Structure 1
Amino acid sequence: MKTRSTRAIPCAAVLTVGGLLLTACGSSGDGGSGQAGPASFEGRGPISYVAAKDTTGTIQPMIDRWNKQHPDEKVTFIQLPTDADAQRQQMIQNAETKSDAYTVLSLDVVWTSEFAAHQWIDRLPEKQFPLGKMLKPVVETAKYRDGLYAVPHSSDGGLLYYRSDLLKKAGVKVPPKTWAEMKDACAKVQKLPEGKGVSCYAGQFQKYEGLTVNFSEAVHSAGGVVTGPDGKPNVDTPEAKKGLDFLVGSLKDGTIPKKAVTYLEEDGRQAFQNGKLVFLRNWPYVYSHAQKSDIKGKFAVAPLPGLNGPGSSSLGGHNLAISSFAKNKATALDFIKFMSSEQSTETFLKEASLAPPYASLYDDRELIDQYPYLPVLKESILRAVPRPRVVPYGDVTASIQREAYAALTGSKSSAEALKALQADLQKSVAR
């Protein structure tokens, strides 16, 4: 999700994916009630793959393998900024000019509805992808009005990283399930000599997409919603206020360090690895980084805590779509099959800690032995609540970031921020 700034590069052997059998794809007559019927996927030749800057070093080698197997259908990797908002803006600019420069797009899961509704991406032939083998919440992010407009490439769920060594020394036997338990555990750790100068908790609180994620998680973890099942905003509620109050109050009482209002994913990861945090909310990619740091063997992961019990993660990840204005769409469709296959996504799991869309990989004993966080991650994804799946997502997330940040920095109270946010969201969704 996407909101991540960087990814990890675990040291693992690369799986052989050269044996994938890719078939030529013409137009499909799959039914559905989407914006339009599936496009005619014709034309073979060079294409481009457009995604965030690859800080893991895993994307280009995978593309190189494709290029070696398909010398007449080579893929050029176009890397966009790591910031999700900037990625989205550049993709929109390409679509608005109807440029064929972008072919396969790596979309944050919450962009599918917006891009499909504007007909910037093609509806895909659903029967040609093994969606039944994928986690259902992940597949749903790739659909718009019952039509498939993208294919899951990776998923994501928020995890609570914690210093297991410090909790053990402080006599805390199990990771916290509630915010109150987390604060209590921190208080015990901070009484230890090793806990001197260590802050309690951080997430991503800078004014960018990561704040939308963290705000939404706090609201959902307190029993509230940002938008209801009908898509209508309902954020000016006592439950939502309890969620935002947790963040605001934690900044005031020092549970969250004040500098965390500047944190993106990488800032929090580095603080945790450098021994400055007891708890960190972040994505799975952090695990591989931490395993290669000074805290190797001294940390573990757990589900996010909530107000009265385990919390709810925002659902992250990326889906692969085909630009409506691209050329060589038969090649593009085959390339999506290659990148989203079970073999390829297992490689990305092993090399970059990317959460795979395939259910079976979370239950593989050998993988669990190597990546102990997989059962927790699966639970996080299955319990996750999507960010608002609305067409004007850009306006919605901008409003959330603006009002949540105002509350976190003290320029508005939680009540004032939520009231303003409710009004803004109602205007955006009604357009």
Structure 2
Amino acid sequence: MTTRSLRGGAAALSLGLLLSGCGGSSGSPAGADGRGTITVATGKDLTRTVPKLVDAWNRAHPKEKVRLVELPEDGDQARRQLVQNMRIKSHAYDVVRLDAVWTAEFAAHRWIPPLPDGLLDTASIVPAALATGQYRGRLYAAPWLTGTGVLYYRKDLLAEAGIAYPPTTWDELRADCARVQRKAKGVDCYAGQYSEYEGLTVNYAEAVQSAGGEVFDSSGRPQVTSPQAKAGLRFLVDGFENGTIPKKALTFKEEEGRRAFQEGHLVFHRNWAYVYALASADSKVAGKLGVAPIPGEDGPGSGTLGGDNLAVSAFSEHQATARDFIAYIVSAPVQRQYARAQSFPLSLAALYRDPEMVKLYPYLPTLRQGMEKARPRPVVVRYNEVSNAVQKHVTDAITGKRTVDQAAADLQQALSALTR
């Protein structure tokens, strides 16, 4: 798929003039009203679309140009680099791209200021995505990329086994696999992301939610020893024990799972929306894959909301320009431009119903359906430590080092200590 730049400098200039009036209020800290060149710390853009959007901004704002700096691809390394930058109050970065779950930590430490009311058209943003940019009732980060886990499946293998629809429950998933494997030898049933990293936290949370439980309740208290939470953990443990999930999936992150599915080794695969374009283009499953909401214990499951948000560094000397640039990137015209060039789902709600977008990415209605039931990861200041605790104790359970009951009890104790 080729990328496209914004059509014409005039359109970019017009949008730039529209946004140029956004700024901070009087009496704000030094830098809050500052204008000038800015640096945006973001992730690697394999589609090379973002640099083209930045070029359009730079042509329209010759005195307020944007420079992109790529953070490490590994999420933990990227977070460490940003945290180190914030702790020394460096003004090296003006706009920072945050994993949706980092908002609370950065806001609580006052490393990012709240965004002014009216900067964004919040009514146009997917509600679940909007929530990831909020902390204590205020918007600190602008939702940009969003999405939730979906179930990829082999339409051809299901059809050959006489199965008309993808599974909506875990029992149906297991039964469908048994029917498929009677005809298609050498193919594994199902896999998500189970290596000991952030993806395991996400897959565990989805299993818990899909069994009717929650990792934390609305007041921030851990609830991982509830019958529903333990049922979610048991789904993962039983999956490895009975072969529903192959043992090699203990090493799977997103890319390992994607390759296994694309090479024809899996009937079902849980992953993010980005897989669709890659698996549809040049793989053994091209033209044979379908997309559905993830299954749950008694019906369609609940995914974990993912995504990336954009925030202004509290230590930026040009925060007014930084806010304007964020408003530009998440505006409807620019999001549409970005959406045409790559398959990462964006925060603009209208894109999920846009006929052009749905024709380009047929999975969008399914993704929106899944996002309506998706939940954000825990909004806790010490999220990184919380995630590490989840990874450790869930790994102990799925590798047989602890029983489900013991792993759940140990995890409850660890999370209670971290959030007390």
TM (norm. structure 1) is 0.92
Q: 1:220 aligns to what SS in structure 2?
A: helix
Q: Which among 297, 301, 320 is matched to residue 311 of structure 1?
A: 301
Q: In the TM superposition, what is the alpha-carbon distance from 1:365 to its structure 2 partner?
A: 2.0
Per the alignment, residue 42 of structure 1 pairs with 33
Q: In the TM superposition, what is the alpha-carbon distance from 1:51 to its structure 2 partner?
A: 1.9
- What pairs up with 1:120-131 in 2 under 5 angstroms? 120-131=111-122
The separation in 1 between residues aligned to 2:212 and 2:197, in whole angstroms, is 24
Q: Is the 8 A contact 2:168 2:300 kept in 1?
A: yes
Q: Is the 8 A contact 1:48 1:78 kept in 2?
A: yes
Which amino acid is the alignment partner of residue 45 of structure 2? D
Judge which range, 56-65 or 285-294, deviates more.
56-65
The separation in 1 between residues aligned to 2:176 and 2:80, in whole angstroms, is 41
Report whether the alignment pairs 1:23 with 2:14: no
Per the alignment, residue 268 of structure 1 pairs with 257
The separation in 2 between residues aligned to 1:225 and 1:378, in whole angstroms, is 21
Report whether the alignment pairs 1:424 with 2:420: no
Segments of 5+ residues of structure 2 without an aligned counterpart are none
Which amino acid is the alignment partner of residue 424 of structure 1? A
Q: In the TM superposition, what is the alpha-carbon distance from 1:38 to its structure 2 partner?
A: 9.4
The separation in 1 between residues aligned to 2:313 and 2:322, in whole angstroms, is 9
Provide the aligned C-alpha RMSD in A.
1.8
- What pairs up with 1:300-339 in 2 under 5 angstroms? 300-339=290-329
Q: Is the 8 A contact 1:106 1:321 kept in 2?
A: yes
Q: 1:196 aligns to what SS in structure 2?
A: coil
The separation in 2 between residues aligned to 1:344 and 1:285, in whole angstroms, is 19
The separation in 1 between residues aligned to 2:349 and 2:30, in whole angstroms, is 29
Per the alignment, residue 379 of structure 2 pairs with 389
Q: Is the 8 A contact 2:5 2:52 kept in 1?
A: no
Per the alignment, residue 358 of structure 1 pairs with 348
The separation in 2 between residues aligned to 1:422 and 1:252, in whole angstroms, is 23
Which amino acid is the alignment partner of residue 369 of structure 1? K
Which amino acid is the alignment partner of residue 27 of structure 1? G
Segments of 5+ residues of structure 1 without an aligned counterpart are 1-9, 30-36
Q: 2:376 aligns to what SS in structure 1?
A: coil
The separation in 2 between residues aligned to 1:210 and 1:373, in whole angstroms, is 22
Judge which range, 211-220 or 248-257, deviates more.
248-257
Report whether the alignment pairs 1:292 with 2:289: no
Deviations 1:244-281 (CA, angstroms, capped at 9, x unpaired): 11111111121111111111111111111111111110
Q: In the TM superposition, what is the alpha-carbon distance from 1:102 to its structure 2 partner?
A: 1.6
Q: Is the 8 A contact 1:103 1:322 kept in 2?
A: yes
CA 1:58/1:235 → structure 2, altered by over 3 Å: closer, same or farther? same
Q: In the TM superposition, what is the alpha-carbon distance from 1:40 to its structure 2 partner?
A: 6.5
CA 1:409/1:39 → structure 2, altered by over 3 Å: closer, same or farther? farther
Per the alignment, residue 33 of structure 1 pairs with none
Q: Is the 8 A contact 1:142 1:151 kept in 2?
A: yes
The separation in 1 between residues aligned to 2:35 and 2:202, in whole angstroms, is 39
The separation in 1 between residues aligned to 2:30 and 2:352, in whole angstroms, is 33
Q: Which among 176, 191, 206 is matched to residue 195 of structure 2?
A: 206
Q: In the TM superposition, what is the alpha-carbon distance from 1:351 to its structure 2 partner?
A: 1.8
Q: Which among 388, 393, 399 is matched to residue 403 of structure 1?
A: 393
Q: In the TM superposition, what is the alpha-carbon distance from 1:389 to its structure 2 partner?
A: 0.8
Per the alignment, residue 94 of structure 2 pairs with 103
TM (norm. structure 2) is 0.94
Per the alignment, residue 214 of structure 2 pairs with 225
Q: In the TM superposition, what is the alpha-carbon distance from 1:61 to its structure 2 partner?
A: 2.2
Q: 1:236 aligns to what SS in structure 2?
A: coil
CA 1:44/1:292 → structure 2, altered by over 3 Å: closer, same or farther? same
Q: 1:191 aligns to what SS in structure 2?
A: helix
Q: In the TM superposition, what is the alpha-carbon distance from 1:14 to its structure 2 partner?
A: 4.6
Judge which range, 345-354 or 287-296, deviates more.
345-354
Q: Is the 8 A contact 1:236 1:419 kept in 2?
A: yes
Deviations 1:108-144 (CA, angstroms, capped at 9, x unpaired): 1111111100001111102121001112121111111
Per the alignment, residue 238 of structure 1 pairs with 227
Q: Is the 8 A contact 1:44 1:331 kept in 2?
A: yes
Per the alignment, residue 330 of structure 2 pairs with 340
Deviations 1:209-243 (CA, angstroms, capped at 9, x unpaired): 11111000000001111000111111111111111
Which amino acid is the alignment partner of residue 392 of structure 1? R
The separation in 1 between residues aligned to 2:412 and 2:44, in whole angstroms, is 34
Q: Which among 159, 162, 173 is matched to residue 168 of structure 1?
A: 159
Q: In the TM superposition, what is the alpha-carbon distance from 1:369 to its structure 2 partner?
A: 2.0
The separation in 2 between residues aligned to 1:272 and 1:228, in whole angstroms, is 34
Q: In the TM superposition, what is the alpha-carbon distance from 1:169 to its structure 2 partner?
A: 0.9
Judge which range, 56-65 or 279-288, deviates more.
56-65
Per the alignment, residue 69 of structure 1 pairs with 60
The separation in 1 between residues aligned to 2:254 and 2:358, in whole angstroms, is 24
Q: In the TM superposition, what is the alpha-carbon distance from 1:149 to its structure 2 partner?
A: 0.5
How many residues are aligned here?
413
Which amino acid is the alignment partner of residue 28 of structure 1? S
Q: In the TM superposition, what is the alpha-carbon distance from 1:43 to its structure 2 partner?
A: 1.7
Which amino acid is the alignment partner of residue 23 of structure 1? S
The separation in 2 between residues aligned to 1:347 and 1:250, in whole angstroms, is 41
Which amino acid is the alignment partner of residue 350 of structure 2? S
